[in-house]
Homo-oligomer: A and B are copies of this chain.
């Protein structure tokens, strides 16, 4: 069974891990957000791809939720001595990832090829596809002016209120052939429980992705990143509010109406099911909070099961 997961940030990455842990023969492709990518110390950093590489490669620092377990900070301290900005903490092994990726890009490889080679080197069987190989950057218009994504997210601790989101490069960036193929040939397409504005939004705004999703014969399911009105991690709830949406799973469901046939709500939000269904989607309430590996695997398994459950929407296969 071919599953194509759209993911960025923590929630989507955990669900990718859940699919990777399934005993069932699932062939997983993750289409990863690259709107967070930025240049640091002259290197190309892809935070969402790194989270996938480290999680699926068993290297992630689970406590922190980013970076590599047991990593050292010698290079970071030295770069600060050289006057480099220190607000984005880069562990030493993590720096090696940025060095390796940058080397491959400078040698003319695409981000897709660089990612594939690095995933293979880390023993990862899941296919990780950058949503685009072209330059593409999420910018946030905030009450402090326009900020690069990482400036907003890390440097300013997501404190400025977001008024609008701009995808720099959206005019010219195109999805890779591999992304289009992964969407067209999937049996199941899952929109992970990631921030709809800055994790999933950037993927959907790569020109051609949304049309490919709508044209795919695959069943399409989205998982809410909002549980009981709160984002489990990050600023999705506050963004929903500041961008004029309802800060709830229902607000997210409205964003995906017309794009997916099923919407997975956390069991805590089961009462929203009828309102979600009124949007033309099948609502499924289930436990979505992924604390450990067991939760991740269970949610992935449950999503696969949903595919064969009766649906009220023709889009849902």
Interface residues of A (CB under 8 A from B): 41-43, 68, 71-72, 74-79, 81-84, 91-93, 95-97, 99-100, 102-104, 106-107, 117-118, 121-122
Contact = CB atoms under 8 A, between A and B. Distances in A.
A121 B41 contact: no
A82 B118 CA distance: 6
A92 B106 contact: no
A76 B93 CA distance: 8
Contacts of A121: 81-83
A96 B118 contact: no
Contacts of A71: 74
17 contacts: A41-B99, A42-B99, A42-B104, A72-B72, A74-B91, A75-B93, A75-B99, A78-B93, A79-B99, A79-B100, A81-B122, A82-B96, A82-B97, A82-B100, A82-B121, A83-B121, A95-B96
Contacts of A97: 78, 82
A39 to B, nearest CB: 9
Contact of A92 (B41, B68, B72, B117): B72
Contacts of A93: 74-75, 77-78
Given A82-B121, A118-B82, A43 B95 contact: no
A16 B92 CA distance: 31
Contacts of A103: 41-43
Given A79-B100, A82-B100, 12 more contacts: A42-B99, A43-B103, A72-B92, A74-B91, A74-B92, A74-B96, A79-B96, A82-B97, A82-B122, A92-B92, A95-B99, A99-B99
Nearest to A83: B121
Contacts of A100: 41, 78-79, 82, 84
The 8 closest A-B pairs by CB, nearest first: A42-B103, A78-B96, A74-B92, A92-B92, A75-B96, A78-B93, A72-B72, A74-B93
A2 to B, nearest CB: 28
Contacts of A92: 72, 74-75, 78, 92, 95
A60 to B, nearest CB: 14
A84 B77 CA distance: 24
Nearest to A97: B78
A112 B74 CA distance: 25
Nearest to A71: B74
A81 B58 CA distance: 13
Contacts of A99: 41-43, 75, 79, 95, 99
Nearest to A77: B93
A75 B95 contact: yes
Contacts of A78: 68, 92-93, 96-97, 100
B75 A42 contact: no
Contacts of A81: 121-122
A75 B41 CA distance: 15
